[in-house]
Structure 1
Amino acid sequence: MRILGIDPGTAICGFSILDYEGNHFKLVDFGVITTPAKMDLEKRLLHIYDKTHELITKYEPEHMAVEDLFFNNNAKTALSVGQARGVSLLLSAQKNMILASYTPLQVKQSVVGYGRAEKRQVQEMVKIILKMDKIPKPDDAADAIAVAICHGHSYKINSIYK
């Protein structure tokens, strides 16, 4: 299965493309989609839409895994991240992709084995799982990879019990 992992954001949106066959992951691509801070929100969302659409067209993933919104204290940030997340959900529906959404706790549990793991622990496990020389950067891209890994593990398990 080919998975597009998304760590949504309006300033920085992390993405990853992973192939998962058997029990093995292969990293195809990863990075971030960035938008300037002074750009109007609707133009930022359009840019994220266009770049994500390009990724889907280029790599043809069947699955999309998106990190759930983690709401802390800043409602304005939460709303804009939620809107960026909505762009991903829209694209998955338009492209008839299998969509899954995971909380940060689920991602950490799946990748590290501990739901309260620190960001650095998740990044180290991503590096180990994918046999990378170094931790993927920036953090948003590493988070998108972790979301895709979580989906690979979770989808396989959930498929068995259906």
Structure 2
Amino acid sequence: MSATLRSIAMGDGTAPVDMLAALFEARGWPCSADSAEEISGEIQGSWATYQVRCVWRAEDRVLQLLCLPDIRIAKEKRAPATELLALINEQMWLGHFDIWSDGGMLLYRHGAMLGDDGLLTLSQAQALVEAAIEECDRFYPAFQFVLWSDKSAREALDSALIDAAGEA
């Protein structure tokens, strides 16, 4: 753990963008603080490099995390992809997947309400980012099955969720 992250972790919380910047730096993930309210970066997952963007809305005390797996959904695939989204979102406890209407980009979105102080702890930051990457990795194959293998939404989800007995 870097000295900066260690000193932040010892406190009760930090401004959300500052905490996320320290987390990204400590993990060696490239990032840029686009403003005092926004940070973006890249994280390598199991299937792809994900673009992660976090936007802090101080007036609402909400931190929105977006994770983009760089999957665009063509218009002719929107119906099965939307069906797959519904099946996936039924299984999610935190966050959800969506398709941006402008451009058909797949994204994972989660909004975290922070307390009255508007501070983010290290454990909260880690949990938010790790959950986003885990969910994108978990369902990435299902989207590929729908988009490239012409499987139905149910077949794609069932195929993607098969647990392997070991690792190759």
TM-score when scaled to structure 1? 0.31
The one of the two structures with greater contact order (alpha-carbon pairs below 8 A, sep at least 6) is 1
Q: Is the radius of gyration larger for structure 1 or structure 2?
A: 2
Higher helix share: 1
